Amino acid sequence: MVANCPASRSLRHSCLWLLPAVTLALALASCAPPTGLLAAEAPAKKTSSKENAGTRRRLLKLIPNLKMLHGAPPVVIDLREVVRDIDDVRAGDDLTAEVVYNKKKKVAEIEVAGDRVVIRPGKVGKTEVILEVVDGHGPPIHSKFTIQVWEPDYWKLALTVIGGLGIFLFGMKNISDGLQAVAGNRLRRMISLVTDNRLLAVGVGTLVTMIVQSSSITTVLVVGLVNSGFMSLTQAIGVIFGANIGTTITGWVLVLKIGKYGLPLAGASAFGYLFISRDRLRYLCMGAMGVGMVFFGLELMKDGFAMIKDLPAFEQWFERFTADSYFGVLKCAAIGCILTFIVQSSSATLGITIGLAQIGVIPFQTAAALVLGENIGTTITAWLASFGTTPNAKRAAYAHVLFNVLGVAWVTAVFPWYMMVIRWAVPGADTTEHVTAAIAATHTGFNVTNTILFLPVAHGLAALLMRIIPEPKVAAVPHLKVLDIRLLESPVLALEQSRAVVQRMAELCRGMMRVLGDILESGEIDEMSVQQATRDEQTIDELQDEIVSFMTPLLASNMPEDLIDEARRQLRIADEYESISDYIGRILKYQVKLQNAGFDYEPSERQSLQELHRKVDEFLESIAQAFDGDEAITSELLEQRGRHIAQEVRRLRRMMIERMAEQSVPPRVSVTFNRQIVAYRRVRDHAVNVIEAMAGQK
């Protein structure tokens, strides 16, 4: 009865409904794995084999990520070699492997043959691979790695290297411009310190080149100064020796470990350069910006060269140029010379060499041989600048060539021993970490040793060059063909050379005055001297034209205000000296015409004219000395002498008027006399303008 009651029926029906659900739960429970196995199957973190011991699977990084060139031969991996150094893996006969996961099979085809894994590159791309390795003595090992198949982008390579090289060179220029602007007049005074003291000349050449960051610019300047007659050959040789030492500073700048900070340094310094108003601070920021750009450009070049390292064709090509024999050293030196000749910058080729060496494309020994050749290639600039110059300027350029060629000749002959010395001086020279310092030491050691060897025989070298390049039968006319665009890169040095040419104009004017003084004193006309004075006047006209042509782009460039003012002063002084030469030429022509017509002055008139001539000549000499930097010549002294000349001209004019009133004077004599004293007054006026220009007056 209880079973048939309504309550019991209701309970039975409820149990019948619950029975399927309970049955399904029991079935699922019977299929579920044990709790320990579930934990083993869960993704495990990358731990060591000891941490994963006792689990069903060990996760180990057996195979590193692979980067394969498209079309390259397959890579064969020997599993026994891979697991040899792993303690809890046994490389027995039963070592096998299986690919359990390959995300993109078209990128890489993987074949397992026993204990060997063969990977063939497919299409360009990247895939993830999981390899299961079983050693038969423990749980299987899962090794996860990636395979990247790539093909070279030569356009990207070329653009990266060229862009990096351009930024590198622009950074070098900014360093040079910034240092020159900060040094300013100190740099010019340094150049004026060059004397026959060879050690002092070497020191000046070293410091100037360290500031302008280019031995080519320094040597071009030296050729121009010798061409203008303001530096002797022996002085020039000493400066050239120093320039070769100074150019090695580039390598030591690159030794600084700030490669990754190059771009931030350039960016921060750029803001300072743009927004700081004080010139000195602005150009300090420019120099710092240049340093940052140098290192950023070097990093870009290294990124471009990194692709070369992975290309077998390039690797095989570079293997042809190894400095492991005397002939190999000569080949590498020739390549360095040719590259420097093409780019016209040893700093550029040095940056390329260091970039290749830092990523291991070329070994240190090959880089050292390339640097030797770069020393020869950098002489091309000065050699080209010597074309069409005076014999002394040619000798200075050839001294630079001989210094480097003879130096490379003896260093290549003892190259293995030289490398031993560098490796002793720079431990770890063959490693990429220290190769930059080793290259810089190679460059510096070469030039310092050469200077020590050649400096004692500098006079002998000058004598040898004078025999090789003798003086021509017809004297060459100095000119400014060396003032080209290369000197415009260094405004301070460009202004120094144009300053030397202005000094040359002053000297030519005084030469014309000497010819005129000899005629006034002797009363005789020397046709050769008159012709020389006429040529000097034409030379002054040509020099003035060339200075104007040279200064025009220089004034348009970005220079500090003090350099702009100096350029304007030189332009004005050159114009004044050209006018002075015109008036001296007129006085000379008046005198020649007077004497050729059979007329002459009275002794008192001749003596008075000679006295006026002497005062004007001394006045011009004093101005030239003041322009050369003689501090003993003060502006008060110059003004006093100028007033005396004006008083003397007025006295002579009154004297001639009185004589004409007292006695008959031939019209040609009186007219010539008045014209001459007026011309002397004009010489004095233009000389006063030179004084005002030197003083910075308008």
Tens digit of each residue's pLDDT (9 = 90 or more) over 403-423 = 999 999 999 999 999 999 999
* Whether 179 contacts 287, CB under 8 Å: yes
Based on its alpha-carbon atoms, the radius of gyration of the chain, rounded to whole angstroms, reads 42
pLDDT surpassing 70 at residue 44: no
- Per DSSP, helices labelled H in 232-363 are 233-246, 249-255, 262-275, 279-309, 312-319, 326-343, 346-358
Question: Going by C-beta distance under 8 Å and a sequence separation of 6 or more, which residues neighbour residue 233?
Answer: 226, 392, 395, 396, 399, 462, 465, 466
pTM given for the model: 0.67
Fold of 493-694: Methane Monooxygenase Hydroxylase; Chain G, domain 1 (1.20.58)
Categorize the per-residue pLDDT at 109 as very low, low, confident or very high, splitting at 50, 70 and 90: confident
Amino acid in position 479: H
Rank 297-306, 434-443, 634-643 by mean pLDDT and report only the highest: 434-443
- The predicted pLDDT at position 16 comes to 41
For the chain, the structural domain boundaries read 58-151, 155-468, 493-694
Alpha carbons 399 and 234: distance in angstroms, whole number? 10
Instruction: Give bridge partners of residue 148 from the DSSP assignment.
Output: 67, 126
Interhelix angle for 603-628 vs 667-694, to 10°? 20
- The predicted pLDDT at position 364 comes to 92
Categorize the per-residue pLDDT at 553 as very low, low, confident or very high, splitting at 50, 70 and 90: confident
The whole-number average pLDDT for the span 51-66 is: 67
* Whether 129 contacts 108, CB under 8 Å: yes
The whole-number average pLDDT for the span 467-474 is: 76
- The predicted pLDDT at position 23 comes to 42
Per-residue model confidence as pLDDT tens digits over 228-241 = 677 788 888 999 99
> What torsion, rounded to 10 degrees, do the Cα atoms 536, 540, 542, 545 define?
-170
Alpha carbons 283 and 179: distance in angstroms, whole number? 7
59 three-class SS = strand
Question: Going by C-beta distance under 8 Å and a sequence separation of 6 or more, which residues neighbour residue 275?
Answer: none
Going by the DSSP 8-state scheme, the letter that residue 489 receives in this structure is T
- The predicted pLDDT at position 487 comes to 64
Question: Going by C-beta distance under 8 Å and a sequence separation of 6 or more, which residues neighbour residue 254?
Answer: 294, 295, 298, 350, 351, 354, 436, 440
pLDDT surpassing 60 at residue 13: no
Give CA separation, 333 vs 322, 327, 370, 682, in Å.
11, 10, 5, 61
The whole-number average pLDDT for the span 440-445 is: 93
- The predicted pLDDT at position 632 comes to 62
Per-residue model confidence as pLDDT tens digits over 286-314 = 989 998 998 898 888 888 877 777 776 67
Token pair 């390579």 in the structure block, residue: 157
- The predicted pLDDT at position 270 comes to 92
Alpha carbons 392 and 175: distance in angstroms, whole number? 32
* Whether 122 contacts 94, CB under 8 Å: no
Answer whether CATH 2.60.40.10 is correct for domain 58-151: yes
Token code pair at residue 390: 């005076």
pLDDT surpassing 80 at residue 646: yes
- The predicted pLDDT at position 19 comes to 41
Token code pair at residue 186: 């100190």
The whole-number average pLDDT for the span 587-596 is: 88
Per-residue model confidence as pLDDT tens digits over 122-150 = 888 899 988 888 876 667 888 888 988 88
Q: Kindly report the average pLDDT of the chain as a whole number.
A: 80
Per-residue model confidence as pLDDT tens digits over 653-668 = 888 888 787 777 788 8
- Residue 476: Cβ-neighbour burial (10 angstroms; 0-12, 13-18, 19+): middle
pLDDT surpassing 90 at residue 5: no
pLDDT surpassing 50 at residue 598: yes
Token pair 């320990």 in the structure block, residue: 36
- The predicted pLDDT at position 217 comes to 78
Categorize the per-residue pLDDT at 52 as very low, low, confident or very high, splitting at 50, 70 and 90: very low
Sheet holding 108-113, edge to edge: 75-78, 116-121, 108-113
| Least confident interval from 234-238, 371-375, 492-496, 587-591 | 492-496
Q: How many Cβ atoms are within 10 Å of 286's Cβ, its own excluded?
A: 23
Going by the DSSP 8-state scheme, the letter that residue 62 receives in this structure is -
